[in-house]
Every structure is written in structure tokens, then in C-alpha cells.
Amino acid sequence: MSWKRDKPEPPPRGYHHGNLKEELVRAALGLIGEKGPNGFTFAEAARLAGVSPAAPYRHFRDRDDLLADVAARGFAVFEAALARAWDQGRPDPETAFHRLGRAYLTFAHDEPAYYSAMFEAGVALDASPELRAAADRAFLGLRAASEALIALLPAGNRPPALMMALHVWSMSHGVAALFGRADGGRRPLPMSAAELLEAGMLIYLQGLGLNSTKDASP
Amino acid sequence: MSWKRDKPEPPPRGYHHGNLKEELVRAALGLIGEKGPNGFTFAEAARLAGVSPAAPYRHFRDRDDLLADVAARGFAVFEAALARAWDQGRPDPETAFHRLGRAYLTFAHDEPAYYSAMFEAGVALDASPELRAAADRAFLGLRAASEALIALLPAGNRPPALMMALHVWSMSHGVAALFGRADGGRRPLPMSAAELLEAGMLIYLQGLGLNSTKDASP
DNA sequence: CAGCTCATGTGACGAGCGCTAACATGGCGC
DNA sequence: GCGCCATGTTAGCGCTCGTCACATGAGCTG
């Protein structure tokens, strides 16, 4: 049905690709997104990028190395999304904090490929220094938000900010991992994952003594 | 160093193995435990069991089918461990509840192979009816515990037990997945995963209005 | 502009795995 | 004692990972 072309778009290129590395990462993201982190295949990414199966090895030591690179980029995007949601705690820390929680789930929901590479692909955090650094930066954002919230408490009973950040991350990740995906494999819920996390966070903050008196319902 | 035997134990068997299915599951558990759910290989499990690489297909449709079977057994063990820890809420629901949380992490820590198969191997919950049923039974245990705790609250402000159970599971899974393994890939913490979860749960219960006044420190 | 060099891409290959098909064995019910 | 069929075996296809030796041409150098 197509004249002169049977493949959609091999924009004519010479022997050298130009920026194969970027294209491989994009291909990997697409594959992880549609077939899960295990279905992803080094050879297929090469095929998508229009190069021979051996070419990727010029840019990544092996399959795990590519996965680690994708995960690191994911953490960078993640950190940016969280920082944008937190917005330095404006207009007030409680409001900003709830935005943060929603942003976490939004990321997990809208970028399943990144989220899979980051948390479900079995990539060790120290697979590369860049990955470790990217993950640390993302966590630091959460920790800063926790500190701002804790500062609202009377000086007597302030929990450690690190611990609070770990709690927030744990609950967010738990909700996202167990109920945050629409991939059909999981349990049907009477509420959305976002509502579940929001309610959980409200209860947790209440337990800390942060009476978020402003009603957060829409 | 060994006389008359170079392989540890092929207890002489005839053409038929006897209970290959069980042996395959045990082999799979061992492999998942030492090489992660991705490193696990159908062929290698067959080798461990001392049969040809095609034999396992007489007992499991494919690799995922075996994984689902392992996960289902894991949920059964898991449910039993939780039930034992909860012990019908004795001597009182708060104490039993903290035992429950510790049991969750103990399971994740002591049975990493089961836990991986259940939550990290990417097995869809409805891969088999048995798996779905086993997972449901385990969750029902958590839900029953939540109900018992909620019953302690004044009738006015009782949250839905289902929601509370989901919160508990989410936080537990989050802590276990992010910090519960000693596999070196994760973040070093100033406290143990068990302490982290215990503190988080105390804060959460406090937020619900459950003043667990009895000090839970050792 | 000529020539060199080295990063990048290619083709061929070995090993290992998932899974299927056709064949072998022997435990168990008749 | 016989024969069936569940359970095992061997052979083989198609695929992936990862490594070779080799080809190409982009960009520096003079």
C-alpha cells in the first residue's frame, strides 16, 4: 500500500547513526512501557533504533547498564516533578505537601516505564554512580519537604526529618507498587490510589500532631 | 575429595522421578533466593532437580506458571506467619498488631525468595486462581486485624477497615521493598527496617486516635 | 586538501534459554 | 500378565546476550 517505502521512517542516515545512545534509551523506555522491564530486550531496542544488534554495546556495557541509565534519567525526571509540586512549600507546607503526594502517584502512573526501571527492574542502586546520585537527589527533595513540615511542630516533639521522609517514601512507594498501576494484575479498590495515599498521609500527619485543619477534599 | 560420588546426591531413581513438581519448586526457590527472580532459569531448575530441560513442562505450562505456583505457596506461608503473629488479637489488639508488623518484615527478610516471587517477579495476581485466592486470604488476615483495632475506637470516627488494611499493607510493603533487604543495593539507614515500620505504624495509629499508651520499646 | 586515526557501526559466531515435537519407559489399573 | 498413559528423554527451532575481527567515515592535523 505504500510506494517507495515499506518501513515508516528510516530517515536516511549513513554508516554512523549520530546519536544512537539517546535513541536506544527512548526505545528502551517504549519497550519497558509496553512489555514490562523483563520483556525488554537489548536486541529489540537495537532493531527499533535501526541498527545492528551489536551496535548498542558501543554505548552500554550490557543490558543492565542501559537499564541503569534509564533509571537514572527517571530519577532526574522524578526529582524535577517532585520539586515542581513542592514549589518550596508555597503557599504553605501542608498544601504543598499534599501536592507532593499527588505528584508522586502521578509520576508512577504517567511514567510507568521510568517507574519500572527505577524500582521494579531489580537494578541495584549502585549500579552506577550517576544512578546513586540521581536517587539521592530525589530523596533529598522529600527530606527537605519533611523538614519544612516538621518545623511547624512545637519544638518539643519533633521527629527526625530523615525518619519522616523515609515513612513518606515507603507509604508512597507501597501504594504505587501495590495499587498504582492500571495493569490489571492488581486488586480492585473502592478508591483511587491517589485518594488512598492522601488519606494515609493525612492520618500520618495527624499522628505527628500536624492538624491539617484545612479540608483537603475537592 | 569425595570417593565414588562427584555430585552431592542423585539418590538413585529410575526413569520416573517421583515428585518432580515439589523438587522443581524447591529448586526455583533456591535459585530465586540467590540470583533474584530474573536470574532464575527454567533449565537450571531442571538441572538442579536432576532431570532433562524438557521435563518441567510436564508439570508447568511455562516459566511463569512455575513462578505463579511459587508465589501462591509464598502467600500461603505468609498468611500463616501473619495469622500466627496476630494470634486472634491476644492479649490485646495493640500488642498483637505490633507483632503483626514485625512478622511482615521478618517474612520479607527471612524468605526473600518467596517475597520476590510474590511481589517483585512481575507475576500478575490472576495468573492462576490459586494465586489470587492465596493472596486474598493473606489480605483478609490483615483486614481482620484492622477491624479489631478499629473496634477500639469510639463509634463516631471509625475509618473503613478496608482502607486501614490497605494503608498497613502499603506501608509495610514500602518499607520492605525499599529498605527491608540486606542485598546491598539499597540505602544505608540510621535505623533498622523493623524499627522504621514500627515507628511509622505508631504514628499512623496515633493519627487514627489509637493512643497506644503502652510503651513499645524493648 | 590529503591522510590518518579512532569512535562507531557491521556480520558472524558460540553459548544458553524457552518451548515444541516425536519418541521411550515403566507404574498402575484392568 | 497386559496395555495405557503419565512422566520422562532426545532433537531441534528461534531467539537473546555478549564477543570477536573487520568496515566506515567524521574530524583533526599538517
Domain ranges for chain A = 16-60, 74-208
- Say yes or no: domain B15-60 is CATH 1.10.10: yes
Number of residues assigned to chain B = 218
* CATH architecture of the domain with residue range A16-60: Orthogonal Bundle (1.10)
Q: Which of residues 188-207 of B touch A (CB under 8 A)?
A: 189-191, 196-197, 199-200, 202-207
Q: pTM for this one?
A: 0.90
CB contact under 8 A, A167 and B203: yes
Cα(B151)–Cα(B174) distance, integer angstroms: 26
Residue B183 corresponds to which cell in the numbers above? Answer: 542485598
Cα(B61)–Cα(B58) distance, integer angstroms: 7
Cα(B186)–Cα(B21) distance, integer angstroms: 34
Cα(A126)–Cα(A129) distance, integer angstroms: 6
pLDDT tens over chain A, length 218 residues: 443 433 344 455 666 677 899 999 999 999 999 999 999 999 999 999 999 999 999 999 999 999 999 999 999 999 999 999 999 999 999 999 999 999 999 999 999 999 999 999 989 998 999 999 999 999 999 999 999 999 999 998 899 999 999 999 999 999 999 998 765 456 778 899 999 999 999 999 999 999 765 444 43
Contacts A–B by Cβ distance under 8 A: 133
- Say yes or no: domain B71-208 is CATH 1.10.357.10: yes
Could you read off the pLDDT of B98-143 as tens digits, one per residue?
999 999 999 999 999 999 999 999 899 989 999 999 999 999 999 9
Q: At the top level of CATH, which class does the domain A74-208 belong to?
A: mainly alpha
Q: Among all chains, which residue has been given the C-alpha cell 531489580?
A: A122
B57 closest-nt by C1' vs CA: C19
